[in-house]
Structure 1
Amino acid sequence: MPIPSATNSHLIVAGFHALSDPIRIGVLEILRKREQCVCDLCDALGVNQSKLSFHLKTLKEAGLVNARQEGRWIYYSLNLPQFTILEAYLAEFSNNKVIASARLCCD
């Protein structure tokens, strides 16, 4: 399995960190259907805007969501290429058919 580049390593770590919270998973599930504004995400998840802003920042920094401003509202959508990077990283584990047995390292 090739070692991810420094850039991909950062994206992989940030992506899996972002996926480690139930609220952020909820945001992604909602965005699977369509782009949403912050107010609609708050209503759907039952959280206030300041709490949701923290989670959206984490998702955005991980590259999992895109944000665009329209007037005073910010709309969020999934950034599918980042999911492809995470998927490819995980696929390398399942594609690795050879499992080497441990060798003695301290004789």
Structure 2
Amino acid sequence: MNKKFVVHARVLKAMSDENRLRILELLREREYNASELLDEMDFGQSTLSHHMRILLQAGAVKARKNGKWTYYSLNKEIFSTVAEWIAEYGE
């Protein structure tokens, strides 16, 4: 199978949950650590960890360690690639 389709499917599947969409929306603004994300969400740490693991595995989010904190940011490159691919269907 074409690797492009595997990558796109992972990103789209990761986006198929409203909580993960909320996380992605926050990360559009700036980088967040887990504590800051939890302040914005209405669920606990274990649920956040579950969602972040899915987003990281899909390549939708990047993680950066700084001391004891992990900071998360949107992987804009992957979204550009997926958006270009989806736009091809509208041509």
Instruction: Note whether the superposition's TM-score is higher than 0.5.
Output: yes
RMSD over aligned Cα, in angstroms?
Answer: 1.0
Higher helix share: 2
What TM-score, normalized to structure 1? 0.81
Tell me the CA shift for residue 17 of structure 1: 0.3
Q: C-alpha deviations, 1:28-74, integer Å up to 9, x for none?
A: 01111100000110110122111111101111111111001111111
Highest CA radius of gyration, 1 or 2?
A: 1
Query: Sequence identity of aligned pairs in percent?
Result: 36
SS at match of 1:66: strand
TM alignment of 1:5-16, pairs within 5 A = 6-16=2-12
The residue aligned with 1:65 is 61
The residue aligned with 1:27 is 23
What TM-score, normalized to structure 2? 0.95
TM alignment of 1:1-107, pairs within 5 A = 6-95=2-91
- How many residue pairs are counted as aligned between the two chains? 91
Q: Which runs of 4+ in 1 moved over 2 A?
A: none
Tell me the CA shift for residue 85 of structure 1: 1.4
